[in-house]
């Protein structure tokens, strides 16, 4: 008898990097993630489906901006070239280490060559250079569920216009249907798990005050039935922390929300069951949310006390020059990079077995305790950035496979997808929850994305939102002399706004992870928008020149997300 369910939710996302730099920032991010995460995970899940007959294994979120890149012809050609370079570099490392007598390191170099050769074979032959089709096939067989996200991972609570919030969700749903078979996604990973209810909202930069609908309003208008929140939001958003005191604009936003902050209805709220959002009682369709399980989350997220910090796992940060291969183990969190010990690929098998068994034990204990208390099978929802498994934590895919097998071989708990669980155990209609505003960022509010270092980004976004909505109205109302070019311009203006609005840029600026690159990307998309807007205005009066036409073609090539779509139509409010 099944007494509970485990649902891994893997959030696959990268910002648009095609034609936007190669190394150390840019296309290499996509190639690394495809080699170390997306391809080997797809292969592992396909094996479990074909050889073991496993179904409903987990939920995979592939953001529209990631999906568009994986489907792009330039990615497919560039990825094969990347793999060839990695194979060649690994064999050169092997020859070098053998020459200097470091045979153990030479063995690891050959291991890397074999790894990249295997990935190349899987990509070219097993999946015919179409990773999206591979994941779609798994969904069609009922092995996994795929969910959508905001089109470019825009930070929805801070976007300045209702139209742009709606467009992120509508565009995300449209790309999902285009890439995964024509049906709507029933679930969404809200970018940064950031949610905002409806209330009289004051723009933290411009001071404009407007009545706003909750994010869930636009979800149900686009046939999305559920989303995911971080644990503190279920408990009333108690994890705000000290960040409010650091930045006046953020404090202004929080104070405005506090004036109308809703009270949570219901009692004994547990993260092991889904709930209906209170406001959705007034919508055409009710919206459900799941809550992240913090107990299992820390075991995989934390580098200090979680599994990825195990001393025998691969050290991410130490790389051999010039190949970039990693040959060392973590050794210890306080051990200097120069003192890291050589990686032992056999020892990791023992560690993976132990870690996966412990994770399984914690999941089962939680679910059996919940069943004992509630007499109904609950769900442990464990959401992670997809790239954590394989890329950041190299052994993570092996961990995931072992946990799935542990659960599938157990008589009391089972794996599931979010959609499948809702079909079996829909939320109790007697309990509705009024969620507070927040995210899964530091302090569970907006600090990572809105602070002294990122305010200028939001000034650009708010200005561009306003100008683009005006341009759309002008496009609809005017009989352009060159309609074809005008249509291309209005679509590319929309793409620039979408890419400018990616939450990744503020995150990278705030964390200093790739600050210069992120600042350059924000500036580039803003400047592209302004240049194209000039051409759009001119297009109503006269034809643009050859040099201006080449500029349009150049920007279209560089920023070709949703290249088959009329993106301006997504900005119509439902």
DSSP state string for 534-547 = HHHHHHTTSPPPHH
- Distance separating the N- and C-terminal Cα atoms of the chain: 44
- Judge contact between 513 and 163, C-beta under 8 A: no
Parallel, antiparallel or unpaired: strands 209-212 and 226-229: unpaired
Active-site residue 572, yes or no? no
Q: How far apart are CA 43 and CA 58, in angstroms?
A: 14
Hey, what are 134's tokens? 């591979």
Q: How far apart are CA 348 and CA 463, in angstroms?
A: 51
Q: How far apart are CA 524 and CA 447, in angstroms?
A: 24
- Judge contact between 198 and 213, C-beta under 8 A: yes
Hey, what are 352's tokens? 């993976």
- Judge contact between 507 and 449, C-beta under 8 A: yes
Which of these is catalytic: 341, 385, 474, 482? 385
Parallel, antiparallel or unpaired: strands 209-212 and 199-202: antiparallel
Question: In a 3-state reduction of DSSP, which class is residue 201?
Answer: strand
Hey, what are 306's tokens? 């979680």
- Judge contact between 149 and 63, C-beta under 8 A: yes
Active-site residue 110, yes or no? no
The 10 Å CB-count burial string (b at 16+, else e) for 341-376 is eebeeeebeebbeebbeebbeebbebbeebbeeeee
Q: Name the DSSP letter for residue 482.
A: T
Q: Please report, for residues 29, 161, 369, the alpha-carbon distance to residue 507 in angstroms, rounded to integers and kept in the order given.
A: 16, 21, 38
Is the four-CA dihedral 303, 304, 307, 310 of positive or negative sign? positive
Hey, what are 350's tokens? 């023992």
Hey, what are 90's tokens? 């690994």
Which of these is catalytic: 145, 162, 192, 504? 192
Instruction: Scan for tokens 């959609």, then name that residue.
Output: 419
Q: At what angle do helices 455-477 and 503-511 cross, to 10 degrees?
A: 170
Instruction: Scan for tokens 């056999």, then name that residue.
Output: 346
Q: How far apart are CA 17 and CA 502, in angstroms?
A: 12
Question: In a 3-state reduction of DSSP, which class is residue 452?
Answer: coil
Torsion angle, CA of 34/40/43/44, rounded to 10 degrees? -140
Q: Which residues carry out catalysis? A: 192, 385
């Amino acid at each position: 008898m099944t007494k509970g369910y485990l649902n891994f939710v893997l959030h696959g996302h990268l910002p648009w990097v095609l034609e936007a730099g190669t190394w150390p920032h840019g296309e290499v991010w996509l190639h690394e993630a495809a080699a170390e995460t997306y391809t080997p995970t797809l292969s592992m899940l396909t094996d479990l489906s074909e050889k073991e007959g496993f179904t409903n294994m987990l939920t995979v979120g592939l953001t529209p901006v990631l999906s568009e890149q994986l489907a792009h012809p330039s990615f497919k050609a560039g990825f094969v070239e990347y793999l060839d370079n990695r194979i060649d570099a690994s064999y050169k490392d092997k020859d070098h280490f053998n020459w200097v007598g470091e045979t153990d390191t030479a063995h690891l170099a050959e291991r890397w060559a074999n790894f990249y050769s295997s990935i190349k074979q899987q990509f070219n032959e097993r999946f015919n250079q179409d990773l999206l089709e591979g994941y779609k096939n798994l969904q069609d067989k009922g092995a996994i569920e795929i969910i959508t996200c905001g089109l470019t991972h825009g930070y929805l609570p801070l976007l300045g216009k209702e139209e742009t919030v709606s467009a992120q969700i509508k565009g995300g749903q449209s790309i999902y249907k285009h890439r995964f078979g024509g049906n709507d996604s029933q679930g969404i990973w809200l970018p940064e798990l950031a949610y905002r209810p409806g209330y009289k909202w004051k723009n933290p930069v411009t001071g404009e005050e407007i009545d706003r609908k909750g994010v869930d309003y636009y979800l149900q208008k686009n046939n999305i039935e559920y989303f995911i929140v971080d644990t503190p939001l279920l408990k009333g958003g108690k994890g705000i922390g000290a960040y409010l005191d650091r930045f006046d604009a953020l404090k202004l936003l929080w104070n405005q929300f506090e004036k109308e902050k809703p009270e949570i209805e219901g009692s004994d709220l547990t993260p092991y069951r889904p709930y209906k959002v209170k406001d959705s009682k007034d919508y055409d369709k009710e919206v459900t949310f799941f809550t992240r399980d913090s107990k299992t989350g820390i075991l995989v997220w934390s580098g200090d006390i979680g599994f990825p910090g195990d001393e025998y796992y691969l050290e991410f940060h130490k790389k051999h020059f010039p190949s970039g291969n990693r040959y060392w183990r973590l050794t210890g969190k306080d051990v200097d990079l120069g003192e890291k010990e050589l990686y032992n690929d056999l020892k990791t098998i023992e560690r993976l077995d132990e870690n996966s068994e412990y994770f399984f034990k914690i999941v089962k204990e939680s679910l059996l305790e919940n069943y004992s208390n509630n007499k109904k099978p609950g769900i442990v929802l464990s959401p992670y950035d997809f790239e954590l498994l394989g890329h950041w934590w190299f052994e993570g895919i092996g961990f995931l496979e072992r946990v799935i097998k542990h659960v599938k071989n157990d008589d009391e708990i089972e794996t599931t997808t979010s959609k499948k669980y809702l079909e079996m155990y829909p939320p109790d209609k007697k309990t509705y929850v009024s969620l507070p505003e927040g995210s899964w960022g530091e302090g569970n509010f907006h600090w990572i994305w809105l602070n002294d270092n990122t305010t200028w980004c939001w000034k650009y976004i708010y200005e561009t939102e306003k100008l683009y909505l005006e341009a759309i109205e002008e496009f609809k109302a005017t009989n352009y002399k060159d309609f074809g070019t005008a249509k291309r311009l209005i679509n590319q203006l929309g793409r620039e706004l979408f890419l400018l609005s990616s939450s990744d840029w503020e995150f990278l600026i705030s964390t200093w992870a790739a600050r210069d690159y992120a600042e350059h990307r924000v500036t580039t998309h803003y400047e592209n928008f302004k240049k194209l807007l000039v051409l759009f205005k001119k297009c109503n009066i006269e034809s643009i020149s050859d040099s201006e036409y080449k500029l349009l073609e150049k920007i279209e090539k560089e920023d070709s997300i949703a290249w088959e779509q009329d993106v301006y139509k997504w900005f119509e409010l439902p």
